Amino acid sequence: MATDASVAPVLNTKPGIQSLSPFGAARSTVEGAPLTADELRKTNAYMRASLYLCLGMLYLKQNPLLKEPLKLDDLKARLLGHWGSDSGQIFTYIHFNRLIKQYDLNAIFISGPGHGAPAVLSQSYLEGVYSEVYPEMSQDEEGMRRFFKQFSFPGGIGSHATPETPGSLHEGGELGYSISHAFGSVFDHPDLISVTMVGDGESETGPLATSWHSTKFLNPITDGAVLPILHLNGYKINNPTVLSRISHTELEALFIGYGWTPYFVEGSDLDSMHQAMAATLERCVKEIKSYQKQARDSGKAFRPRWPMIVLRSPKGWTAPRDVDGHHLEGYWRAHQIPLPDVAKNKAHLKLLEDWMRSYKPEEVFDSEGKLIPELAELAPTGNARMSANPISNGGIIRKALHLPDFRKYALAVNPGITNKGSMSNMAEWLRDVVAKNLTNFRLFGPDETESNKLGGVYAAGKKVWMADYLPEDEDAGNLAYEGRVMEMLSEHTVEGWLEGYILSGRHGLLNSYEPFIHIIDSMVNQHCKWIEKCLEVEWRAKVSSLNILLTATVWRQDHNGFTHQDPGFLDVVANKSPEVVRIYLPPDGNCLLSVMSHCLESKNYVNVIVADKQDHLQYLDMNAAVAHCSKGLGIWEWASTFPDEDPDVVMASCGDVPTMEALAATALLRQHLPDLKIRFVNVVDLFKLISNDDHPHGLTDKAFDAIFTNDRPVIFNFHSYPWLIHRMVYKRTGSHNIHVRGYREKGNIDTPLELAIRNQADRFSLAMEALDRLPNLKNRGSMVREKLLEEQIMARNDAFEHGIDAAKYREWVWPYGPKEEGVIGAVQSKLGLGGDDQPAASVVGTSE
Amino acid sequence: MATDASVAPVLNTKPGIQSLSPFGAARSTVEGAPLTADELRKTNAYMRASLYLCLGMLYLKQNPLLKEPLKLDDLKARLLGHWGSDSGQIFTYIHFNRLIKQYDLNAIFISGPGHGAPAVLSQSYLEGVYSEVYPEMSQDEEGMRRFFKQFSFPGGIGSHATPETPGSLHEGGELGYSISHAFGSVFDHPDLISVTMVGDGESETGPLATSWHSTKFLNPITDGAVLPILHLNGYKINNPTVLSRISHTELEALFIGYGWTPYFVEGSDLDSMHQAMAATLERCVKEIKSYQKQARDSGKAFRPRWPMIVLRSPKGWTAPRDVDGHHLEGYWRAHQIPLPDVAKNKAHLKLLEDWMRSYKPEEVFDSEGKLIPELAELAPTGNARMSANPISNGGIIRKALHLPDFRKYALAVNPGITNKGSMSNMAEWLRDVVAKNLTNFRLFGPDETESNKLGGVYAAGKKVWMADYLPEDEDAGNLAYEGRVMEMLSEHTVEGWLEGYILSGRHGLLNSYEPFIHIIDSMVNQHCKWIEKCLEVEWRAKVSSLNILLTATVWRQDHNGFTHQDPGFLDVVANKSPEVVRIYLPPDGNCLLSVMSHCLESKNYVNVIVADKQDHLQYLDMNAAVAHCSKGLGIWEWASTFPDEDPDVVMASCGDVPTMEALAATALLRQHLPDLKIRFVNVVDLFKLISNDDHPHGLTDKAFDAIFTNDRPVIFNFHSYPWLIHRMVYKRTGSHNIHVRGYREKGNIDTPLELAIRNQADRFSLAMEALDRLPNLKNRGSMVREKLLEEQIMARNDAFEHGIDAAKYREWVWPYGPKEEGVIGAVQSKLGLGGDDQPAASVVGTSE
């Protein structure tokens, strides 16, 4: 097992300047010159047309064809946009067009490098799609003028591949997700090739770095192919990129290590680069086809070392190499506007004009501004054009799921007595969702599906695994080449796959531990922005919602410790636009079923569902659950006292564990104060609490007051940080009366039992909180308070006997004041507390 | 440039079962058997002692030495903890101990795999550190009993390498950061070796996958070395790991590609594995020393392909291979408690007892429970013990920064007229901070330092770059082998480096664009938990604060578009424990200096500072700024009217751009209503708003009311989402009077100018909001309202002429009601609005 000689450890003492330069005649792994002289000439001309359009977008508001000499007035006053990666992307796009036509391919183009929109916009314009979608951006001089002017201009479009960009399903504002999006798009699209430009800056991000491993989850029979083109243009905003500054040996080894076959195309000389890229892309397409054919003909899936391309070309390729003694082409100065001072520097204005004219617009566009026919013919037609592929506007091809009727999966409920797992029950329904939608739905998660009690779905669709197998895999038997569950220990990758999957017209669900969902805060954030923007783009059809099921929730994370306790993802989501976010906290199993079914049917939302995975109390039969979830919140009359009367106090809850404790608190109060009028309210749909002015689900003030009253104390037991409720209700008349208890980042509850004890302490403190808020009770209140306190001291005694620390206990139990401390001290000394025995196993949840 | 033959593309059609099995005699890259028979015997015994302790932690509450037959009562009632990675980690730790002694090394051990605490706890106990730190956990039978019982037990310790763990600076609750933490720990610690176990599950995360590239930023002269041991134990919770199921060729290529020299140690046979690991680790240490010597002797830094080890051993190594026909050792069933049902299954109880006895506790511990002397001698002594290395308790070795007096860098301010860049000015001070602390402070960022106007620091410390150079790098000249600025396009990596750097006793600052800081929400979250917990651990000394400077803020992200707009990181941070988080929004340049200096001096916080990087108005001279920042908020009398009287209305602001607009609104009101009593309040320290019950910085209600009043309308212009203010002030008496304006996720402001226009519209709407809240003004108010409206319509006209969409404009300008719409319509038609000309460049900010 000696190290391979050719990749043996060598000291990299001498910088490999020669091999790292992006300049010169093409150097490529694949040899050959497949283009005829005429094809070469046309390809070059098409590229010039596209590059000309890019510069036009960056600079011009008029004189689009440079029919007049370029003058200051022709320029936009504020120059914005990025030139750096445009040429390399255009180069790739054009060469892939040739293969689409030659091999009748079904392809989309994913633009990974940041701010590379001019490349794909110019291509879309040249192939006519842009004018079809936006008729005012016609293929003539005036249309071209508008097309230029709108770019990075008020009322126009941005500098990323935003939703307004035909053919785009990947905006690229935040970097790192091009490869995972691409894989998501090709799963269950066996004929699709997603041509994916990957920026070398983007490649440094964590999410991108691990997403190369996605090949271990792609089946060549049922899925299409991703063809990545790593674009080594060498620079980020202000630094070289790491991958452009390592040796050829390392770079090649890296991609072989990731499981790909890297083909290199390097250089700047246009003619030889065109030949090299034509030959290399063709080789890649043939390899892809050949692997697919082998697998499909034999019916035996395998993991090929799929082809990918490393394209090393100068940053800002085809720009002037040097300006005023500083490098432009091939340097980071070409990142954004290449000549930023043209408005002030006449020589630079002239330089820009010469540069633009060097693309010979008069040769490639006719006098009306239309691309000349011999070039227009180079692009594919109809939906074969990458910017017209309906897959990139997935809502168009989306088919509704065949959803089994969730009512048939109802838990039989003896309210408040049945103790069952909501999640494992829901898994049975989910299994059948999988079974009925075997090419249209996938379940995603970071190695937690089984732990999250959703393993039941494997009966309908196993876990996809295309890496190697060992004989012992038979033992559990849940891995398969073909499956419906996607698990990799990268929240970024599985979320990226899911996004790509739904944006290309399918359906899915991500399950994750609640505490670690913050890892993808930013991805969810960006997806919210994407779908919100899509609402404004007429031709974009709505896609399936991004469904995120959170479990292993904060209230059950005693055994995993403090690092595993954080319910704050809800705050991040609640900041997003009300048009696109929904948050549900079903209190029990039948509500979970109802909510999940609703979410899987919905479109264009980010749905977040929070539910416990352990056994817990069940309350509502299916009819009641459906009615409750349809309203989103409601009074639980069966849990209230004197439901026909105005309440003295409202006990409210949101979240399953908090609901259990709030009900227990209500029972305590009812026991000790049988004539107290308690209204019990449960909230499933969190946004019901917000004003209807601020969210479409929000209640009117009148409806809100009808449930919560506007003058009675509301004791609100909440799953997450309490402030989230306060910020939602601050506009309500009775907001001052709403007293919220929730998770607080205190006390370092990181050993078993502590959190369970804390949960149990809740019922006492909730009840006491209610008493505190009811001054009219006076002496009666005090008496009950003392009784409750005695009961709690007994419970606390149990806790101490189980090893709970007294200081911590006091910290958790909010309403303890000095008054009670005295009583506690007395009872404590009477009973002689402080034992140090074992916790009873039954007191706590099971572990994961 | 053909592909190397030995790593040529090959179809990976046959699973390489043979080479992927972790079982059998050792297979290793490095040959040799350096251990004598006696050393081998002792090493084995030491490992048995450690493994025994691990099982004891998982299972026992008494009978720690198994002096009695194992009975049910000896077991903890709830079995928690993880066995899977313990043996491999112990194995590595022990073998490194040998080298510490032999070569007098300075080393720490970083435990990357999740829940691997028993491994490092048992090692700490064996080398005596645990008993020194926690005397009750003595090295005797009763101490061992306590040591076992406390693990994953109420009042005890968790199952990660939590802050209570001696020698730990990496908890590992959330996976993915072991390598970046390790690199942070060795920067500027030239003699340190951070021995870093990396889990193969963890390796699938994005942050870990890119952090291998950290070698491109490590200088062998000034920095120490990271020695990673990738632990291929094959399984996560419920799945195989990707890296354990790819071919040897791919795995080797991957790490060569990442820039390392991988040495393989694979197998399960203990004797041969001990020899292989001893030989391999020694080879690695020698290589590290040799590279360092070469660089240090010659004074020429270079990037070696540093050694790393791939250790393939069975998951749960040394457990029974099969139990009841299912694999345990070498399978995912060994992940957590290996025999979970011992309480119910007598045969398994017996199996456990036999297994534990197979480690021969009576041989390795004396009858008192103390490790026998010949084994105790194997560990290093004093601070050479990895669990005693003071670097892992960095606060102990931390030296305060030499901070230049920030007052000397004051901006000369003509209040409200000076228009300068706060950030570029602060960069001068920061440059001198760097210059005065050349081995103790680093600036971190993801390729944005220059863009963030902090490039001035390069004069004192360049950007570290250990990858290859090209001649053109001379052009800018900011890259160097030795430098103080760390830039890689991975927020995860640079944040991880910074954490490692400060946890090992140094200082630093991370600068980042505000919108993308959400990428590391979860890392910051976890760091908050770490430092909060440290407050409870007596022997932990406080470390420098984690300072995060956010710029490219939401109010200046017009040109970069909607994807670049998100101020919600503050919400995430505000959820964390008040003991450890601080948020500052300095309104101008001198306040920024004051705040930054304060933050760099502070300990044990996460400080978040939000400041614009563009030129903007300056208000406070240095004395006023220091006084203002010391209080954290205050009344700006110079901006108020009738400052000695009770106000009619309070205009408040937090954040620099919002302050500018609130001041402009105040000026408008003063102009039109000269007798209106306006109090202007600015907030720098956000937590001043919270009750002093909830945060140490919080104002008392009395102090709060003295500033904001408890009955006057407060118009509060805020940098971030408005709800954050509402949740902070909800307990205040006057909270209903506080009307907050902030960023809202609406309107898709993604073209230039739009956001600048929106900012300007703010001043009018803020002023009108104030009028709306002052019903006593009656007719006067209406008149002023109309005047303001006219002015605003003129401004709006300008905006329309610059291409702003009318519908969007209406959406941004909050207080527009139907009443104004009528007036607007009239004026609009009179003026004939809707032009489509160019924006004036001066209206908008510059681009980045």
Closest CA to B724 of A564, A339, A723: A723
pLDDT confidence of residue B750 = 45
Look at residue B18 and tell me whether its pLDDT is greater than 80.
no
Closest CA to B87 of B233, B198, B203, B241: B233
**Chain B 715-744, residues with CB within 8 Å of chain A CB atoms:** 721, 723-724, 726-728, 730, 735-736
Look at residue A493 and tell me whether its pLDDT is greater than 50.
yes
Mean pLDDT of B440-453: 94
CA B750 to chain A, closest CA, distance in angstroms equals 6
CA A643 to chain B, closest CA, distance in angstroms equals 30
Look at residue B816 and tell me whether its pLDDT is greater than 60.
no
β partners of residue B240? B235
Cβ neighbors of B725 (< 8 A, separation 6 or more) are B654, B689, B716, B718, B738, B740, B742
Mean pLDDT of A338-352: 95
**Chain A 43-102, residues with CB within 8 Å of chain B CB atoms:** 61, 76-80
| Nearest-angstrom CA–CA distance, A29 and A349 | 40
Mean pLDDT of A342-349: 95
What are the structure tokens assigned to B396, written together? Answer: 């102990």
Q: Do A206 and B492 touch (CB under 8 A)?
A: yes
Q: pLDDT tier at B481 (50, 70, 90 boundaries)?
A: very high
Q: pLDDT tier at A18 (50, 70, 90 boundaries)?
A: very low
Chain A hits for B564, Cβ within 8 Å: 173
| Nearest-angstrom CA–CA distance, A281 and A103 | 12
User: A433-442, A811-820, B256-265: which range is least confident on average?
Assistant: A811-820
| A488 in B contact zone (CB under 8 Å) | yes
Q: Do B250 and A240 touch (CB under 8 A)?
A: no
| A256 in B contact zone (CB under 8 Å) | yes
pLDDT confidence of residue B756 = 59
Mean pLDDT of B211-226: 98
Hey, of B1, B235, B470, B564, which one would you mutate to test binding to chain A, going by the most A CBs within 10 A of its CB?
Answer: B470
| A762 in B contact zone (CB under 8 Å) | no
CA A674 to chain B, closest CA, distance in angstroms equals 32
pLDDT confidence of residue B751 = 46
Q: Do A80 and B207 touch (CB under 8 A)?
A: no
Determine the residue of chain B that is closest to A61 in CA distance: B838
Better-scored residue on pLDDT, A508 or A723: A508
| B298 in A contact zone (CB under 8 Å) | no
| A15 in B contact zone (CB under 8 Å) | yes
Closest CA to B350 of B69, B595, B592, B91: B69
Q: What SS3 class is residue A610?
A: strand
From first CA to last CA, the distance across chain A in angstroms is 39
Chain B hits for A572, Cβ within 8 Å: 518, 521, 568, 571-572
| Nearest-angstrom CA–CA distance, A772 and A785 | 9
- Considering only CA atoms, give the Rg of chain A: 31
Q: What SS3 class is residue A430?
A: helix
Q: Do A302 and B27 touch (CB under 8 A)?
A: no
From B158, B202, B515, residue closest to A750, measured CB to CB: B158
**Chain A 178-237, residues with CB within 8 Å of chain B CB atoms:** 201-202, 204-211, 213, 216, 236-237
CA A618 to chain B, closest CA, distance in angstroms equals 25
What are the structure tokens assigned to A171, written together? Answer: 């905006």
Look at residue B622 and tell me whether its pLDDT is greater than 70.
yes
Q: Which domains does chain A have, with CATH numbers?
A: 39-393 (3.40.50.970), 406-617 (3.40.50.970), 634-843 (3.40.50.920)
Q: Do A236 and B447 touch (CB under 8 A)?
A: yes
Better-scored residue on pLDDT, A206 or B846: A206
The letter for the amino acid at B397 is I
Q: Is A674 in contact with A628 (CB distance < 8 Å)?
A: no
Mean pLDDT of B19-29: 90
Q: Is A160 in contact with A480 (CB distance < 8 Å)?
A: no
CA A780 to chain B, closest CA, distance in angstroms equals 28
Look at residue A8 and tell me whether its pLDDT is greater than 60.
no
Dihedral pair phi/psi, residue B76, rounded to 5° = -65, 150
Closest CA to B311 of B42, B26, B84, B18: B26
Hey, of B447, B513, B802, which one would you mutate to test binding to chain A, going by the most A CBs within 10 A of its CB?
Answer: B447
Q: Do B521 and A516 touch (CB under 8 A)?
A: no
| A794 in B contact zone (CB under 8 Å) | no
What are the structure tokens assigned to B455, written together? Answer: 């490039």
Within 10 angstroms of residue A289's Cβ, the number of other Cβ atoms is: 14
Helices (H), A315-387: 346-358, 361-364, 373-376
CA B609 to chain A, closest CA, distance in angstroms equals 19
Cβ neighbors of A337 (< 8 A, separation 6 or more) are A58, A79, A80, A81, A82, A83, B847
**Chain B 443-462, residues with CB within 8 Å of chain A CB atoms:** 447-451
Look at residue B471 and tell me whether its pLDDT is greater than 70.
yes
Q: What SS3 class is residue B781?
A: helix
β partners of residue B652? B681, B716
Mean pLDDT of B175-192: 98
Q: What does the angle CA B417 – CA B419 – CA B424 come to, to the nearest 5 degrees?
A: 150
| B417 in A contact zone (CB under 8 Å) | no
Q: Do A20 and B468 touch (CB under 8 A)?
A: yes
Per-residue pLDDT reduced to its tens digit, B134-172: 999 999 999 999 999 999 877 788 889 999 999 999 998
Chain A hits for B204, Cβ within 8 Å: 210, 213, 488-490, 493
**Chain B 530-549, residues with CB within 8 Å of chain A CB atoms:** 532-533, 536
Chain A hits for B839, Cβ within 8 Å: 77-78, 154
User: A747-751, B530-534, B619-623: which range is least confident on average?
Assistant: A747-751
Look at residue A735 and tell me whether its pLDDT is greater than 70.
yes
Determine the residue of chain A that is closest to B74 in CA distance: A838
pLDDT confidence of residue B838 = 29
Chain A hits for B756, Cβ within 8 Å: none
| A811 in B contact zone (CB under 8 Å) | no
Cβ neighbors of A93 (< 8 A, separation 6 or more) are A50, A109, A119, A120, A123, A195, A386
Determine the residue of chain A that is closest to B14 in CA distance: A468
From A251, A533, A563, residue closest to B257, measured CB to CB: A251
Q: pLDDT tier at B77 (50, 70, 90 boundaries)?
A: confident
Integer CA distances (angstroms), B120 to A644, B110, B171, B286, B560, in order: 61, 9, 11, 25, 47
Closest CA to B542 of B597, B579, B497, B577: B579
| A246 in B contact zone (CB under 8 Å) | yes
| Nearest-angstrom CA–CA distance, A525 and A518 | 11
| A326 in B contact zone (CB under 8 Å) | yes
Better-scored residue on pLDDT, A174 or B743: A174
Mean pLDDT of A80-106: 96
Look at residue B17 and tell me whether its pLDDT is greater than 50.
no
| Nearest-angstrom CA–CA distance, A798 and B257 | 58
User: A459-473, A735-749, B12-26: which range is least confident on average?
Assistant: B12-26
| Nearest-angstrom CA–CA distance, A653 and A587 | 9
Look at residue B836 and tell me whether its pLDDT is greater than 50.
no
Q: Do A205 and B489 touch (CB under 8 A)?
A: yes
| A174 in B contact zone (CB under 8 Å) | yes
pLDDT confidence of residue B835 = 30
| Nearest-angstrom CA–CA distance, B769 and A285 | 62
Q: pLDDT tier at B827 (50, 70, 90 boundaries)?
A: low
Q: Do B304 and A11 touch (CB under 8 A)?
A: yes
Percentage of chain B with pLDDT > 70?
89
Percentage of chain A with pLDDT > 90?
75
How many pairs of residues across A and B have Cβ atoms under 8 Å apart? Answer: 510
Average pLDDT, chain B: 89
- Considering only CA atoms, give the Rg of chain B: 31
DSSP assignment letter at A630: H
CA B846 to chain A, closest CA, distance in angstroms equals 9
pLDDT confidence of residue B566 = 87
Look at residue A16 and tell me whether its pLDDT is greater than 90.
no
Q: Is B4 in contact with B256 (CB distance < 8 Å)?
A: no
| B847 in A contact zone (CB under 8 Å) | yes
Q: Which ipTM value was assigned to this complex?
A: 0.93
Average pLDDT, chain A: 89
Look at residue A39 and tell me whether its pLDDT is greater than 80.
yes
What are the structure tokens assigned to A47, written together? Answer: 């590229």
pTM: 0.94
pLDDT confidence of residue A795 = 73
User: A205-219, A795-809, B65-79: which range is least confident on average?
Assistant: A795-809
Q: Do B304 and A745 touch (CB under 8 A)?
A: no
pLDDT confidence of residue B4 = 36
| Nearest-angstrom CA–CA distance, A719 and A681 | 14
Q: What SS3 class is residue A792?
A: helix
Look at residue A541 and tell me whether its pLDDT is greater than 60.
yes
Cβ neighbors of A826 (< 8 A, separation 6 or more) are none
Determine the residue of chain A that is closest to B79 in CA distance: A847
From first CA to last CA, the distance across chain B in angstroms is 39
CA B382 to chain A, closest CA, distance in angstroms equals 30
Mean pLDDT of A610-634: 95
Mean pLDDT of B728-756: 75
Q: pLDDT tier at B683 (50, 70, 90 boundaries)?
A: very high
Better-scored residue on pLDDT, B277 or B563: B277
| Nearest-angstrom CA–CA distance, B333 and B722 | 49
